[in-house]
Structure 1
């Protein structure tokens, strides 16, 4: 189940969902106020968004899900995992926001500008459509929540296996922060995708599918054997 980033929608996961579909049941959702989802007049805070996130699979009869968050979606996935561990089997954190070393609007803006050349040009049209659909109030609210959230304090309390994924050219998420996220997780492992910026699911969908299917296969095998998740590792994806 894919969780989109701040101010955008499930559109960013379309290439990934199409590539993952033949291997696993997969869903992507529009959180309240974003994409095709109706939302409250006032933007929801991160905690309320995370609660809405875990309510959807329960409403459609899914017992446990794997949450795959992108950027700000990682923050919601981690918050949901810490407060609702019985609902979530595993996490995949792609381009996990927010690096504490750049917790500020101007610093994030500078990183976004440095990252932009490493994304597909077609992403710009999707972002504009998403911002239009959500409206300025919801977009600004989501970015404000991202800046306020201290994901680093929650990561040590994530009990389920977690795969951290970073694009090798990602200027929003430095390698040092991706490694710190992995270190803070009790059962985390890190993978780096070559020739990708921040939006790995959009630019390198097939590489991400290979990482996710391998992670799920090993996670399920370990769970079936009653063992742990194995050593932490860092490896490039083709």
Structure 2
């Protein structure tokens, strides 16, 4: 039986960030946006990871494979820990969350080193999504997210977990991805192309990973 898939966009991104992946997904799915992650945050919104995880759980009527990208990986992990009955498996795409590298200068440097590998043709779609979410919302969300210790959290997971990155991603380097996979007793993969936006650049490969955990079996 195929399990539905719930996807949370990365920081500042919207549902369209998953479009290149979802065009290959052959399972029921829903993209859930949250304040700072596809929708503009209101003044009183609590943007801490655990609070956003509760918002996510409230919008999940049934058990699903949870997919996060970048900082939203922390949200799906927190949701899986708080509501284990709602999470069948996790697919963590290019996760941030290494508190040892969470200072603003380090984050900015890693972002710049990753961005130089991104296709310039991504700029218009990324810009539209960032402006819609708003930069103040993104800054507030990132300030909250950078204090969440993903390594400590994934130690407590008891569901299948996949961690995947792209070759030129400096926000989610190979060492960090392997550490998250080891701590969660999961598996890690590095895609041979792309940088920090594999949801936009490596959609077919990500869909294949999602299929494995959602129980989609394709002939051939």
TM-score by length of 1: 0.82
Q: Is 1:27 the equivalent of 2:30?
A: yes
Q: 1 or 2, which has the higher helix percentage?
A: 1
Q: Is 1:7 the equivalent of 2:12?
A: yes
Deviations 1:27-69 (A, max 9, x none): 212213554x5653334322221111111122xxxx2011100
TM-superposed CA distance for 1:100, in Å, is 3.1
TM-superposed CA distance for 1:175, in Å, is 0.6
SS, match of residue 67 in structure 1: strand
Alignment of 1:74-113 (within 5 A): 74-113=73-112
Aligned to 2:55: 52
Aligned to 2:43: 41
TM-superposed CA distance for 1:3, in Å, is 0.9
SS, match of residue 68 in structure 1: strand
What 5-or-longer segments of structure 1 have no aligned partner? 221-238
Does the CA-based 8 Å contact 1:43-1:142 persist in structure 2?
no
Deviating above 4 A after TM superposition, structure 1's stretches of 4 or more consecutive aligned residues are none
Alignment of 1:44-193 (within 5 A): 44-45=46-47, 46-58=49-61, 63-186=62-185, 188-193=186-191
Query: Alignment RMSD, CA only?
Result: 1.9
Aligned to 1:235: none
Aligned to 2:202: 204
TM-superposed CA distance for 1:126, in Å, is 2.5
Does the CA-based 8 Å contact 2:7-2:66 persist in structure 1?
yes
Distance 2:37 2:188 in 1: 29
TM-score by length of 2: 0.88
Deviations 1:143-163 (A, max 9, x none): 101211111111111111111
Does the CA-based 8 Å contact 1:34-1:133 persist in structure 2?
no
Q: Is 1:18 the equivalent of 2:23?
A: yes
Distance 1:9 1:149 in 2: 22
Distance 2:98 2:20 in 1: 26
Deviations 1:61-96 (A, max 9, x none): xx2011100001100011111111111111000001
Distance 1:92 1:79 in 2: 13
Go from structure 1 to structure 2 and tell me whether the alpha carbon gap of 1:144 and 1:41 turns closer, same or farther (over 3 Å shift).
same
Higher relative contact order (CA 8 A, sep 6+): 2
Deviations 1:118-168 (A, max 9, x none): 222233223322222222331111110121111111111111111111111
